[in-house]
Structure 1
Amino acid sequence: MQKFLFGLAITALLLGLLWPWIDKIPFGRLPGDIVVERENFRFYLPLTSMLLVSALITLILWLIRR
């Protein structure tokens, strides 16, 4: 458990340090993301983005445990 928390802390630190560059990656609205815009309302469901992030995390965890 300690290794996991340490790895999570290091990952958060690296993401925080690299955020100015990560923020510029055009990863925003992908095809398949649901956007509903009304007069005083905006709903955004990043369905495709969530699936890609989930697949990436699953692949990384699978490689680590192997």
Structure 2
Amino acid sequence: MARWLVIAGIALVLLGLALHYAPWLLNWFGRLPGDIRHETEHGRVFIPITSMIVVSLVLSLLLNLFNR
């Protein structure tokens, strides 16, 4: 369990550094075809379906690689 927490911490630090120093690397996230955006004068709704499928696939691949 401790190993997974260390790996998660390192991943979060790397993600934070990427967002701070190179924000253009993740500009595509949330703007993929299939992500639903609906804006009216009273509010906004954003449902990132395609982006979450991409995140799920990447995490599944990474977890399968680490568990072998």
Q: TM-score range by the shorter chain?
A: 0.7 to 0.9
Structure 2: 5+ residue stretches without partners? none
The count of aligned residue pairs is 65
Amino acid at match of 1:10: I
Q: How far 1:40 sits from its partner (Å)? A: 2.0
Aligned-pair identity in percent equals 42
Deviation digits for residues 6-37 of structure 1, max 9, x if unmatched?
A: 1111111111122131x213313111011111
Q: Which residue of 2 aligns with 1:46?
A: 48
TM-score by length of 2: 0.85
Structure 1: 5+ residue stretches without partners? none
Amino acid at match of 1:42: R
> 2:10 aligned with 1:10, yes or no?
yes
Runs of 4+ in 1 over 4 A off after TM superposition: none
What root-mean-square deviation, in Å, do the aligned CA atoms of Structure 1 and Structure 2 show?
1.1
